[in-house]
């Protein structure tokens, strides 16, 4: 459905009515120049979407009435979380944006051994808020009904101790020669969740990989070429969601 798309929180919905304010109201009234009687799509960020008709339009306040609810996304698709070693510059912005477009469910910025970016105090908070904002805007653009969960930066210990028991966990590693991602996708049944660990520039150390392996993370090869950190995770995500997800139609 090729209609303008906005995200709302549950407290914006009351008795079938929704109120948009702030930048969303400005976007409706001034940028899109929509009027009373026109329709938009609203999503709650958790998978539900609604068709709504505009009943009042003002640059500060927009009211609309829900006409119908769309079905949530199919529950049988595997949820993919990218555990990404924090790269330099704005590479994480790119990873968040493109991962959202492809269908990523969550992203955990990882403070691994070779991460050189220093995120402390307000800087960490501002960077996290920026990544969340990028995910929101990317979800709007690609018209997905949910927004990936972007976690605050975490350590190896935090991530590994919180891995769900039923989840599959993969770590693409250039030193792995026998176990491949292709073999995993061909011979395993689709798990409920998949965690993909990607190193920063310089990759993971052998000690980090061994620690991950002891926690059930499976090293795999994704081919003979060494991919950049901003390419590797997106490539793995694409392959997983093509095989078991909704990429490819």
The more confidently predicted of residues 182 and 72 is: 182
d(CA 85, CA 198) in angstroms, rounded, equals: 6
What pTM, to 2 d.p., does this model score?
0.87
d(CA 134, CA 92) in angstroms, rounded, equals: 10
For the segment 34-66, what is each residue's pLDDT rounded down to a tens digit? 999 999 999 888 778 899 999 999 888 899 999
The more confidently predicted of residues 97 and 45 is: 97
For the segment 155-205, what is each residue's pLDDT rounded down to a tens digit? 999 999 999 999 999 999 999 999 999 999 998 889 999 999 999 999 999
Phi, psi angles (nearest 5°) of residue 64:
-145, 155
112-141: average pLDDT: 91
Domains of the chain: 5-70 (2.40.240.20), 79-243 (3.40.1280.10)
d(CA 110, CA 229) in angstroms, rounded, equals: 12
pLDDT band (50, 70, 90) for residue 121: confident
State residue 114's pLDDT score.
93
pLDDT band (50, 70, 90) for residue 220: very high
The more confidently predicted of residues 227 and 70 is: 227
Residue 56, exposed/middle/buried by CB under 10 A (0-12, 13-18, 19+)?
Answer: exposed
E strands present in the chain: 5-7, 13-14, 17-21, 39-43, 49-57, 61-70, 79-85, 106-111, 149-150, 154-155, 168-172, 193-198, 218-220
Residue 67 has pLDDT above 80, yes or no: yes
Whether 51 contacts 41, CB under 8 Å:
yes
State residue 72's pLDDT score.
61
Q: Six-digit token pair at 180?
A: 């491949």
State residue 73's pLDDT score.
57
State residue 118's pLDDT score.
86
State residue 248's pLDDT score.
87
Residue 218 has pLDDT above 90, yes or no: yes
State residue 56's pLDDT score.
92
State residue 216's pLDDT score.
96
The average confidence (pLDDT) of the chain is: 92
């Amino acid at each position: 459905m090729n209609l303008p798309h906005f995200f709302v929180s549950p407290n914006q919905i009351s008795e079938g009515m929704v109120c948009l304010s702030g930048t969303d109201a400005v976007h409706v009234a001034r940028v899109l120049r929509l009027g009373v009687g026109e329709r938009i799509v609203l999503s709650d960020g958790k998978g539900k979407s609604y068709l709504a008709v505009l009943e009042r339009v003002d640059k500060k306040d927009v009211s609309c009435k829900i006409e119908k609810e769309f079905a949530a996304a199919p529950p049988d698709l595997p949820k993919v979380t990218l555990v990404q070693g924090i790269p330099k510059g704005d590479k994480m912005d790119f990873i968040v944006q493109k991962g959202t477009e492809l269908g990523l469910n969550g992203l955990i910025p990882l403070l691994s051994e070779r991460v050189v970016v220093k995120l402390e105090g307000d800087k960490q908070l501002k960077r996290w808020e920026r990544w969340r904002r990028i995910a929101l805007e990317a979800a709007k653009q690609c018209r997905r009904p949910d927004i990936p969960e972007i976690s605050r930066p975490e350590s190896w210990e935090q991530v590994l101790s919180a891995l769900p028991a039923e989840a599959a966990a993969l770590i693409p590693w250039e030193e792995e020669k026998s176990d491949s991602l292709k073999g995993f996708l061909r011979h395993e049944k689709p798990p409920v969740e998949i965690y993909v660990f990607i190193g920063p520039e310089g990759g993971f150390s052998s000690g980090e990989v061994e620690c991950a392996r002891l926690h059930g993370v499976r090293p795999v090869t994704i081919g003979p070429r060494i991919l950049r950190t901003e390419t590797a995770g997106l490539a793995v995500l694409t392959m997983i969601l093509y095989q078991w997800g909704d990429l490819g139609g």
